[in-house]
Amino acid sequence: MDKKGKVAVLDKVRGRFTVKEYPLPDVSPGTVLVRIEYCGVCGTDVHTYYGKLADAPFPVVLGHEIAGTIIDMGSQVKKDFLGKPVKVGDRIVLVPAIHCKKCYYCTLAKTPSKCLNMISYGFLPLKEPYFTGGYAEYLYFFHPKTEFFKIDAPGEVALFAEPLAIAIHAVDRARIKPGQTAVIQGTGAIGLLTLICAKSSGATKVAVVGRRRKERLELAKELGAYLAINMEEIPEVKERIKIIKDFSATGY
């Protein structure tokens, strides 16, 4: 392909983002080229920027909460990972991590997030094919095991699929049942999405504990939190636990 596309490259910890242009790759069997519509800024991206992620490669094209549309795809790509047929022009969301499906964690432990051979879009060192992260115009699914699925939601909603998956997983692991009380620590995107999922799972009372941004605590209330506790106003852990126990139906 003669066309070029832009990526925002972060050079080092606390470094600079520089927009660079590279030729768009030609698709080959099993690969997909996507025009990015939206990319979220994950807390992990911020941690990477500040050097809090041990193995982060630099320079890097960050961004893994991605919604976009297919503009070209290789001959073997017919379906998304849920089995729905896909074609050029379809909006898709990406599962950023690629797991080996062979190691102990992928097979026996069933915790692929600990996969020993995992690679992930948005965390790859800058090299060909360059379009490996969401802070860019295009994304290239160079790995044939890349999982993505078609979505009908508008791009600005589809973008939440990846962080929403984390929230659903958290609620799933907590095994929240109708009528129960839940406590969510943190009012970032994941915390607020977890609140929505906990309510959808039937939790009657959900308490949210947050700091820093007061408007997020207000948003938590709008989204159905029964209690929104500001850690700065109630810094004592024991006191926060007491408040939550007092409002819970069962004392927990």
Residues that bind Zn ion (CB under 5 A): 42, 44, 99-100, 103, 106, 115
Quote helix, strand, coil % in the chain, to nearest 5. Answer: 25, 25, 45
Helices (H), 43-201: 43-49, 104-107, 155-158, 161-174, 189-200
Q: Which is nearer to Zn ion, 120 or 185 (CB)?
A: 120
Residue identified by tokens 């106003």 is 233
The nearer residue to Zn ion, 23 or 144, going by C-beta atoms, is 144
Nearer Cβ to Zn ion (99/150): 99
**Cβ at position 57, least distance to Zn ion in Å:** 16
In the complex, minimum distance from the CB of residue 141 to Zn ion, in angstroms, rounded to a whole number: 18
d(CA 114, CA 238): 33
Shortest CB 9 distance to Zn ion, Å:
19
User: For residues 164 and 220, which CB has a smaller minimum distance to Zn ion in the complex?
Assistant: 164
d(CA 208, CA 193): 12
**Using CA atoms, how far apart are residues 109 and 210, in angstroms rounded to an integer?**
33
Least distance between Zn ion and beta carbon 89 (Å): 27
